[in-house]
A and B are shown apart, each in its own frame.
Chain A
Amino acid sequence: MTDLSVNIGGMSLKNPVMTASGTFGYGSEYAEFVDLNRLGAVGLKSITVEPREGNAPPRIAETEAGMLNSIGLQNVGIDAFISDKLPYLKQFDTRTLVNLSGRTVADYVELCGRLDGTEGVHGLELNVSCPNVDSGGMEFGVDASMLGALVEACRGATTLPLIVKLSPNVTSVVDMARVCESAGADGISLINTLLGMAINVETRRAELSRGMGGLSGPALKPVAVRMVWQVYNAVSLPIIGMGGISTTEDALEFIIAGASAIAVGTANFVNPRTTMEVVDGLESYFRRHEIPNLAALRGTCIVG
């Protein structure tokens, strides 16, 4: 009997397969394709205090084995999220990881406070890594002292499991992870999108309205695996690994690198059943290799 359950900083998941923020809507959009009861957790689109309209189009562009996005945190805001979106998810036997984004520490603290004790919310993920708005939290994610102060303030505002989603757009992701650990975070999500750009050479116009955007999809995977491996070897917090996961093998790579759970993002757009296929695939891999549980595989990467 394989045991795929895992605990992420106090959030117990029946299996390590999650959805990545911004790629799964609020759950209902995928009900036709995915049995939400079989997901370890549903990661939800970033929520801000006030509703946000997002950036001007074009917001997406395809690149080699990947895509760029510059959505700009379009979302309904915390009030509508709680009243209109959250109730749907309560009917399922899964966990919800609510992703928060803000301009100021006060924004994050307010969001943490509002969701603390809200029925149906099982964990919070601080997005300190959105590359697509001028004040989307990325300044927190690239400055160690600001990040430490933010995580500490949020820690004081909630008893829910607190996950910090780090930006790959830094010199040392390990330094950032260490800061989160000492500031009281319960886990780390790795990675958000990598800043990128694409240009149409006929028109010489940038493909995205804001010029730059975040790279996601298979092209991102080796960078993400590397960061998970580095952080796993430096901090003891559980890691949610993501970046280009489309198959069971991709998910296994992250777990072997050190991830406790994994999230499927862009692949949901291409194959809406990806998460289900990965759950099935992990079950059969663990059986085939007679691995009793996740901990026995996690971080077992052999180098050299």
Chain B
Amino acid sequence: MPTGRDTEARIVAKREVAPNHFEMRLACDAPATEVEPGQFLHLWLPERVDPLLRRPYTVYRTHDDGFDILFQVVGRGSGLLAQCDVGATVRVAWPLGGGFALPPDGSTAIVVGGGVGMASLYLLIERLARAHVPTQVLLGARSRDYVLCRSEIEALGVPLHIATDDGSEGHHGFVTELAATVLDETETNTPHVYACGPTPMMQALTKVATERDAPTQVALENRMGCGLGVCLGCVVPIRADEDVSYKRVCVEGPVFDARVVIWEYRV
């Protein structure tokens, strides 16, 4: 696994796309077009010792001179990032981790995103569309104001189904319920399922998909220390035959086969 490079990146655009959700364009010295969907970068606001650690963000979209990220303000790191002005520089180590695998020829795909999890899925949707894989996107959001990437997905011509917690748009309820319906309605061969979102959502979706024998890949978002595979801080228990072993989300992930992820390790 090649480690990424660590480059300076300049913030060239910033836009609040939903309440507390920002899209930020970063320019650096290398094209990001080779980035695999699901790969991430580790971002540092230079010279800061508090908050101390870098923050991981998925490469949301790529450009010839850099990439976009799409993030939600949830704490101090993301709050400081959102306050950075256009023109400011940050450091990014990228690309890190391994991405989603596209399905074999002749398959269809269902992409399921919860909230800002869409940030980790957009590039995948773009690649699926480019590969002419028949794809449907299911998106769960708090309310219609929090539906991310709507116009981008529509521009790709990929059908988008929405579920909202408050019923302000689409299905009133969980996106996993929508996923069950769509999977049950699919008459052709079983679709490949891709997901990113809050852990309970991915756990529920894994159940829905595996009950229907749908191969499923999930992108995990564990806390990270180094992002380079050395601190062993980001691990997740993974089932291998009879055994369980800890795998590093930053190197062996962040994308995993959902069937081997052990979700219940808290108990």
- The size bracket of the interface on B is 20 to 34
Looking at A33, A71, A246, A270, which has the most chain B CB atoms within 10 Å of its CB? A270
* CA gap between A163 and B51 in the complex, in Å: 33
Contacts of A142 in B (CB 8 A): none
Q: Which residue of A lies closest to B53 (CB)?
A: A62
Contacts of B228 in A (CB 8 A): 25, 29-30, 269, 272
- For residues 257 through 303 of chain A, which have their beta carbon under 8 Å from a beta carbon of chain B? 266, 268-273
Instruction: Decide if A269 touches B3 in the complex (CB within 8 Å).
Output: no
Instruction: Decide if B235 touches A54 in the complex (CB within 8 Å).
Output: yes
Q: A65-B50, A269-B225, A270-B53 are in contact. Are A60 and B233 (CB under 8 A)?
A: yes
* CA gap between A56 and B266 in the complex, in Å: 8
Contacts of B245 in A (CB 8 A): 53
User: Does B74 touch A at the CB level, under 8 Å?
Assistant: no
Contacts of B226 in A (CB 8 A): 23, 268-269
A71 CB contact (under 8 Å) in B224, B232, B237: B232
* CA gap between A166 and B195 in the complex, in Å: 45
Looking at B2, B229, B230, B245, which has the most chain A CB atoms within 10 Å of its CB? B230
User: Does A202 touch B at the CB level, under 8 Å?
Assistant: no
Contacts of A217 in B (CB 8 A): 49, 52
Q: A56-B265, A269-B225 are in contact. Are A32 and B5 (CB under 8 A)?
A: yes
Q: Which residue of B lies closest to A246 (CB)?
A: B49
* CA gap between A69 and B226 in the complex, in Å: 12
Contacts of A122 in B (CB 8 A): none
* CA gap between A206 and B183 in the complex, in Å: 39
* CA gap between A64 and B224 in the complex, in Å: 16
- The size bracket of the interface on A is 35 or more
Q: Which residue of A lies closest to B76 (CB)?
A: A62
Contacts of B194 in A (CB 8 A): none
Contacts of A66 in B (CB 8 A): 52
Per-residue CB contact flags for chain B residues 49-67 toward chain A (1 = under 8 Å, else 0) read 1111110000000000000
User: Does A117 touch B at the CB level, under 8 Å?
Assistant: no
* CA gap between A209 and B233 in the complex, in Å: 12
Instruction: Decide if A272 touches B93 in the complex (CB within 8 Å).
Output: yes
17 A-B Cβ contacts within 8 A?
Answer: A22-B231, A29-B229, A30-B3, A30-B230, A31-B3, A32-B5, A59-B233, A61-B223, A62-B51, A62-B53, A69-B233, A71-B232, A71-B233, A218-B49, A269-B228, A269-B230, A271-B44
Q: A25-B230, A67-B225, A269-B226 are in contact. List 16 more A-B contacts (CB 8 A).
A: A25-B228, A32-B2, A32-B3, A32-B6, A33-B6, A54-B232, A57-B236, A57-B265, A62-B51, A74-B232, A269-B54, A269-B227, A270-B44, A270-B54, A271-B91, A272-B6
